[in-house]
A and B are shown apart, each in its own frame.
Chain A
């Protein structure tokens, strides 16, 4: 009785900590395997990169334009128009889009589109015992399967962030135009507030988002169990945990960036 109550109370927490610990270990093993020769994953890296690019480019374009136009665009423009300060929308886009929304939308799209594909792929291989077969054949699945996906997802999220910035700002331009404003003021405040720190911060953050998504999705895929239903469950869990991880990491990264670069807090 006591054991049953204790199990019910503590086992989920124990399982959570174990999973987080295992993901940390997988991250360590992945980084070690990526650095340590030999490097047999070149071909798989290119194929995974192109696969993720093919899957993500269109959803990214639609999501970032729509999001940029809708959330920071129309909503902020509505507010700024009260003060006759619609030209400030450009400056606001540095704050909103470059620092936050572009990396967020990129992470959400990459996790939902490419991350789930990784979990489903590795999960199906796990269920069919392909991963065990690889290991028995003396092939390290981390080096040959996880590392290329990890590197490909980091690169694709970093690059997709630039793509998201461009299309996100395009959404802002549409919002400015929707309010019948000339674009001169928008661009003036945009470039006035933009800094190199904002750009590298955004790209670095997004690249690390990619690492988090890759590790979570690979881990859940490689630990899928229970047939096809188990793979579905793993995909679902992977997305939820990846979002949690990304959002939690975003808080830590933003705090650190603002603390170490206070000049970017000044609104010009």
Chain B
């Protein structure tokens, strides 16, 4: 991060770092931050611009550390209901860790996560399993069950959580598979599909219960530009049809421009800034502007 000092960037007025951030007091490592760096959060205004709605998910002062490495460091974020939100950030900034906290697969060391006002870390196992029924999650590689064909994978949540007959289940599954262009692949096993097909099958499975919240962990990774565009279109269409809080995690700006109503930029385990996408693309924050315009000059360097 020595490059930062060499650049002609006017930093924000220096604020005395909180004790846990000062290099003398910090006994943990933040990925991408030199231990000698006094204030790694000088561009993090944490400003949250008004999106004109209510938050479905609120992340409050969340800290998460693995060993001595602190991935989330006092993260605050609100994701609006009935909008497609995007959490953008360079690789290794804790985007996937954030998703796992939201669905209760990881617990924060400090802070809280509220889903529709209910605290996820304070839920019992049974409450957590019940709460997760309102979630759909598309994993990076689809996370399909290897022992089931595509039809059974998509039908699985319906068989687990509804009393629908096989005929009704078949109708829903086939409709979802048609939407994602996999109507002909129902009998195939996951290992017979390409990465993009697995992702689309995972998308169909995530939507099959009509969840109120859908989370996408890098839906565009490993896809060619055309398929990425088609997947974005599909996400947009399904959201228009079903509504709800959609959160997409990515570092692809094309995806952000296509589908995002709301953008939050994450770096070093904290939100730099968040707000409606049109406003954020015009942000005068050095970091946000550099990242969202993919510029080479700015606070973000190769290291």
Contact = CB atoms under 8 A, between A and B. Distances in A.
B129 A133 contact: no
Interface stretch (A136-144, A211-219, A228-236, A250-258): A136-144
A18 interface: no
Given A133-B139, A133-B145, A135-B105, A140 B130 contact: no
Contacts of B145: 130, 133-134
A138 B133 contact: yes
A232 to B, nearest CB: 18
A135 B125 CA distance: 10
Contacts of B129: 135, 138-140
Given A136-B132, A140-B125, A128 B141 contact: yes
B139 A132 contact: yes
Interface stretch (B9-17, B30-38, B153-161): B153-161
Interface in B190-219: 205
Given A136-B135, A138-B130, A140-B125, A130 B160 contact: no
Interface residues of B, number: 24
Nearest to A40: B160
A129 interface: yes
A128 B146 contact: yes
Contacts of A133: 137, 139, 143-145
Contacts of A129: 139-141, 143
B210 to A, nearest CB: 14
B100 interface: yes
Contacts, number: 51
B120 interface: no
Contact of B137 (A3, A128, A136): A136
A101 B229 CA distance: 64
Given A129-B139, A129-B143, A130-B146, A137 B103 contact: no
Task: Point out which of B103, B129, B143 has the most chain A C-beta atoms below 10 A from its C-beta.
Answer: B143
Contacts of B133: 138
Interface string A98-138: 00000000000000000000000000110011101111111
Given A128-B146, A130-B145, A132-B105, A137 B156 contact: yes
Given A138-B130, A138-B133, A132 B125 contact: no
A136 B132 CA distance: 6
Interface of B: 27, 100, 103-105, 125, 129-130, 132-133, 135, 137, 139-141, 143-146, 156-157, 160-161, 205
Given A130-B143, A137-B205, 17 more contacts: A124-B146, A128-B141, A128-B143, A129-B143, A130-B144, A132-B100, A135-B104, A136-B135, A137-B132, A137-B156, A137-B157, A138-B132, A138-B157, A138-B161, A139-B129, A139-B160, A140-B125
18 contacts: A128-B146, A129-B139, A129-B141, A129-B143, A130-B143, A132-B143, A133-B139, A134-B145, A135-B104, A135-B105, A136-B103, A136-B132, A136-B135, A137-B156, A137-B160, A138-B133, A138-B160, A140-B125
